[in-house]
Amino acid sequence: MKYFQLIILSLLIGFSTPIFGQTASENSLPRVHILATGGTIAGSGDSHTKAAYKAGEVPIEELLNAVPEIHEKAKITGEQIANIGSQDIDIKTWLKLSNRIQEIFQNDEADAVVITHGTDTMEETAYFLSLTVNADNPVVLVGAMRPSTAMSQDGNRNLLDAVTVAAAKESKNIGVVVAMNEYIFSAKDVDKTHTTNTNAFQSHNFGPMGIVFDGKVKFYHQPLQVLKPFKTTDLNSLPRVDIFYGYTDADPKIIDFAIENQTKGIVFAGVGNGNFSKEMEKALTKAVKKGIKVVRSSRINQGRVTLENEVDDEKLGFIVADDLNPQKARILLMLALTKTQDKEEIQEMFLGQ
């Protein structure tokens, strides 16, 4: 090979070989920072074909190395926030995540954030972040239903899709979303709807916002978020809010438990349009008189809970959750209580989100 050919060859190699994990062409790519929290996407099991596994085992480096294609979509950086099953995520972890994301965007450390997360409580973390991160940059949560060691595992594809969404020019002002199984869901509308299937997420009322397929993102609609983000940077905890579940002949004494435990709010996952028995109504009215905010949500996963339908909300002092499921209504009530104790103002937040 001639001398000048060698020079050209070495220049070409120089440009395509990663230098400190970064190629020249990567410099023009959007910067996506990955925050890993654990879950099945970082889970491993002994058998290729059986369901048993432990969530939150695989560290972030391994997760990212398993999907080299993400480096074609974005300049990737990452950090481990936790490595736990999402059933163990707590309010402290939410605050840590939210504050860290805020810092990343304020310091211009990245253009978008992807969070790897267990699927069990992913909708809650997503909704919490959608109410607390004050930035327009995309924040995409992603997980897996099958551990990384399983046959036909879904984590690698979901991670690539999540990075694709985070890096896409179409993803302007999408806020916090969940990318699972080729769909893109808004944090507010998404629910986990299957215990084991890979198609485990849906938005019952309004459908997914868009689709990610073959490396391309297409949005069909976008939710309106009119609530101003809550400021959480100075908080270490949130006011206690408990959820109670409605069923035939439910014992109203459970409400006394909440009163004794100094809860600040109750979300009641009522039957139908957020209904409960007369005895339960008495117990909940007693809680309202003690200054506890009571929100009527529903155990039904479609539709809204509406004011003054079968329950005299005005007279009894109840708030309705509108279309928020009980676990999301709890999040909004906890955050609302950091700002106000005014029932009407809180009701406006539920109707306005």
- Per DSSP, helices labelled H in the chain are 3-16, 60-65, 70-73, 91-106, 122-132, 155-167, 253-260, 278-289, 313-316, 326-336, 343-352
Which residue, 120 or 191, has its beta carbon nearer to ligand ASP?
A: 120
- Of residues 58, 86, 98, 280, which one binds ligand ASP by CB under 6 A? 86
Which residue, 40 or 130, has its beta carbon nearer to ligand ASP?
A: 40
Interface mask toward ligand ASP for 88-127; x: CB under 6 A: ------------------------------xxx-------
Query: Closest approach of Cβ 160 to ligand ASP, in Å?
Result: 17
Residue 70 binding ligand ASP, by CB under 6 A: no
Annotated catalytic, 40? yes
Query: Closest approach of Cβ 89 to ligand ASP, in Å?
Result: 8
Q: How many residues are listed for the chain in this entry?
A: 353
Residue 186 binding ligand ASP, by CB under 6 A: no
Residue 187 binding ligand ASP, by CB under 6 A: no
Q: First-to-last CA distance in the chain? A: 67
DSSP 228: P
Residue 181 binding ligand ASP, by CB under 6 A: no
Residue 175 binding ligand ASP, by CB under 6 A: no
Measured between alpha carbons, how far is 158 from 144 in angstroms, rounded to an integer?
A: 7
DSSP 303: S
Q: The tokens 């190699």 sit on which residue? A: 13
| Amino acid letter, 214 | D
List binders of ligand ASP among 144-173 (CB under 6 A): 145
The dihedral sign for the CA sequence 100, 102, 107, 113: positive
Query: Closest approach of Cβ 153 to ligand ASP, in Å?
Result: 11
DSSP 242: E
- Of residues 34, 36, 55, 67, which one binds ligand ASP by CB under 6 A? 55
Residue 40 binding ligand ASP, by CB under 6 A: yes
Question: Which residue of the set 40, 93, 125, 164 is catalytic?
Answer: 40
Measured between alpha carbons, how far is 133 from 229 in angstroms, rounded to an integer?
A: 6
Which residue, 111 or 120, has its beta carbon nearer to ligand ASP?
A: 120
Neighbouring-strand partners of residue 142:
116
Measured between alpha carbons, how far is 134 from 3 in angstroms, rounded to an integer?
A: 56
Active site residues: 40
Q: Which residues here bind ligand ASP, judged by CB under 6 A? A: 39-40, 55, 85-87, 118-120, 143, 145
